[in-house]
Amino acid sequence: MLFKRLLGYVKPYRAPFVFSVGFLFILAFLSPLRVLLMQYMIDHYVRTPDPVSLLHCTLLLIGLLVLEGLLQFAGSYISARVGQHVIRDIRIGLFSHISNLRIRYFDTTAIGTLVTRVVSDIETIGDMFSEGLIEITGDLLKLIVVIVTMFYFNVSISLMILTTIPVLLFATYLFKNAVKSAFQDVRTQVARLNAFVQEHITGMSIVQIFNREDREYEKFRQINMLHRDANIRSIWYYSVFFPVVEILSSVALGLLVWYGGRKVLMHSASPGDLVAFILLINMLFRPIRMLADRFNTLQMGMVSAERVFKLMDANEQVPDSGKLQVRRLNGEIEFRDVWFSYAKEPVPNWVLKGVSFQVKKGETIAIVGATGAGKTSIVSLLNRFYEYDKGEILFDGNEIASYSLNTLRKNVGLVQQDVFLFSDTIANNISLHDPSISREQIIESAKSIGVHDFIMKLPGGYDYNVMERGGMLSVGQRQLIAFIRAYVYDPAILILDEATSSIDTESELLLQAATERLIKSRTSIVIAHRLATIKNATRILVLDQGKVVETGSHQQLLQLGGIYSGLYELQFKTD
């Protein structure tokens, strides 16, 4: 079933695949044909000298060698191209699948493991097509043709030589199983290594801040040692197997010299037959030796394919069955008795407990509460990063799942506290390579929220490369870029999730002005710990342990003297 699924990726390239297999079929017959020609030359034009005929046959032999070389080149090149096209298609499909997985999946899966699946495992599948599957077919056919040719020359000599084959087949079987186990361990260790390196390079600042370099080095050394040991074990199997093959090949050659030489002396075989068998022994053992390696390539390709398809079959996508498609939502939001938990088993650990509220078109609603109260969970549900368990979430009176994801994501903009910027220019980080967004729109948007001057002070202006995760910018500067990104996409609903926290003094005024510009004339939800930034909100919701416990304006909540009032006094209390 797995193999059949893999072959499905070859269908678009059926013609070159068949050509490459066809070349291998021709090659399987060309090599023994050279042996037949050499045997004929020795017995007819060497024993009985005929220089002219010998020259003609030599030229024919050279022509066969050239033809064989050209066919080998064509077959290898075409099969490698097919393999590269196959891995390109699989990789594109896998990346597309990963792009549509729920955020929940990434919460529980190491990024390094996913990188291994997308890069290393798919490369191994490509090797299976270019060096495994097609080559195995050619080697098996060549073995059959060589054995038939040997029996054509002399049955008794052939039987004598083939007595070594059962031992070789048994050694090949042991090698195949041992190497498969070793390489499975290698792939596991590669995934662990990738996951560790990716995670620790990303979090290198934490490692250095807490003086963990030596401890993390020791962990890396252990993981790297396991990776080394797995590779050495596979190398050891190769180091044992190939000498065994060479020994058995030498034994077969010795048997040929002893037994075949007697046959020649007894005139029951010709000198040409003896030379032909010497050549055929090499043609016999070389494919058998290569078959073990190619079977290993095939097995590793199948192991990698199993892992890749397991990821592809992960039923973790956000359901996109909604039929409603509108260019722009009005911006009305309603939560009706919404319950949500991240952990479902063994019993739900409720993060939101019967949350209900309404947001009218153009209103700015602020949500405050202690850490863990459920503020960010509301944001995640509005973007369908997660699915709620009970209740309803409505946009313009329609259930959220009734809208297509494309409509939803275009109409709901999100500016997060932890801004992610790609290793690219500022302009591309704003437009995200959307061809419908021009450079002029980007510049106009930056000017509208007062960020243009800040960008122009950077080397290269809008073409300044911010490097990985925006490392060349300050936290405040990264948030300003995120604000422009949200503004240029012009969503009907804007969500600011702690977007003005952890900023430097220089950026604070710019961010406040940008916030006012962003929320103007659109429905907005602002989540903030800094209560000074939400005084002018239409309404403030106070969350506590997953429930809405207070609702009202800033002044109303202060007069109420409840949780909000306590938070406000805590933040602005002076000694």
Using DSSP's 3-state secondary structure scheme, residue 362 falls into coil
pTM of the model: 0.72
Most confident of 169-183, 242-256, 281-295: 242-256
What does DSSP say about strands 364-369 and 523-527: parallel, antiparallel, or unpaired?
A: parallel
Residues with Cβ within 8 Å of residue 551, at least 6 apart in sequence: 357, 539, 540, 541, 542
Rounded CA separation 2/246 (Å): 35
The pLDDT assigned to 574 comes to 45
Largest Cα separation within the chain, whole Å, is 121
Q: How far is CA 454 from CA 223, 230, 458, 461, 547, in A?
A: 45, 52, 7, 9, 41
| Per-residue confidence band for 358, with pLDDT thresholds at 50, 70 and 90 | very high
- Domains in the chain (CATH in brackets) are 2-312 (1.20.1560.10), 333-572 (3.40.50.300)
| Per-residue confidence band for 575, with pLDDT thresholds at 50, 70 and 90 | very low
| Per-residue confidence band for 451, with pLDDT thresholds at 50, 70 and 90 | confident
Q: For the residues 391-403, what does the mean pLDDT come to? A: 91
Instruction: Kindly state the DSSP code that residue 212 receives in the 8-state scheme.
Output: -
Q: Tokens 């809405």 map to which residue?
A: 548
Q: For the residues 198-217, what does the mean pLDDT come to? A: 77
Tell me the torsion sign for CA atoms 252, 256, 258, 263.
positive
Q: Which residue has the higher pLDDT, 471 or 429?
A: 429
The answer to which of 45-54, 432-441, 458-467 has the lowest mean pLDDT is 45-54
Residue 110 class from Cβ within 10 Å (0-12 exposed, 13-18 middle, 19+ buried)? middle
Most confident of 293-297, 439-443, 503-507: 439-443
List, in sequence order, every residue forming a beta bridge with 246; answer none if it has no partner: none
